Amino acid sequence: MAKSRAKTTPKKSAPQPAKKEAPAPAKPVTTGEIRDLIDFIANTGLNEVSLETADLKLHVKRQPDQRVVAELPASAPSAPTSALPQAASTPPAPEPEPAATRPTVEIRSPMIGTFYRSPNPDAPPFVSVGDKITKGQTVCIIEAMKLFNEIESEVSGTIVKVLVENATPVEYDQPLYLVEPD
């Protein structure tokens, strides 16, 4: 009797799939964090940023600052400055004020967005030139990312000048009103 010897090789176990760990629950993004991101984008000069998390997809795009300059030939009669074209996104520069007898304070935009003087198109403006305002009084609304933010005055006084046209874009820290403080 012949003995047959069969070679046996140890069986290799099938590769085990890697254990998937459950992702840590993402904390929801707060409005403050979104505002901080918008402020950061404004201060860096970036024109477009995309951010995507499990709960949020955010795409911010803004128009780069544009200025239109019209040059007249030297032989042409000078045209009034108001006749020169201006970019739609650039508000007109404020006119120089004569030296005021009393100092004025600026109410500035705390964010980037669209400036509205009234709560809706049919309503009167929150404040107008000559109106007395108090600290904490709503003076306008700035829309940012479909959120309407009421902007309150940080000073009491009289509105001397409105520096921004209704329904126009504003930048962070842009002057909105001149106020003669009480």
Backbone angles phi, psi at 131, to 5 degrees: -75, 140
Is 118 found in the same domain as 50? Answer: no
- Give 151's pLDDT tier (boundaries 50, 70, 90): very high
- The answer to whether residue 25 is domain-embedded is no
CATH number (domain holding residue 148): 2.40.50.100
User: pTM value?
Assistant: 0.47
- The answer to whether residue 125 is domain-embedded is yes
Domain carrying residue 172: 103-181
Asked if the model's pLDDT at residue 92 lies above 80, the reply is: no
pLDDT value at residue 69? 43
Asked if the model's pLDDT at residue 174 lies above 50, the reply is: yes
- Give 33's pLDDT tier (boundaries 50, 70, 90): confident
- Give 21's pLDDT tier (boundaries 50, 70, 90): low
Q: What is the pLDDT of residues 40-54, one digit of tens each?
A: 776 666 667 777 776
Q: What's the structural domain count of the chain?
A: 2
Q: What is the DSSP letter of 151?
A: E
Residue 107 to residue 164: CA distance in whole angstroms = 11
- The answer to whether residue 92 is domain-embedded is no
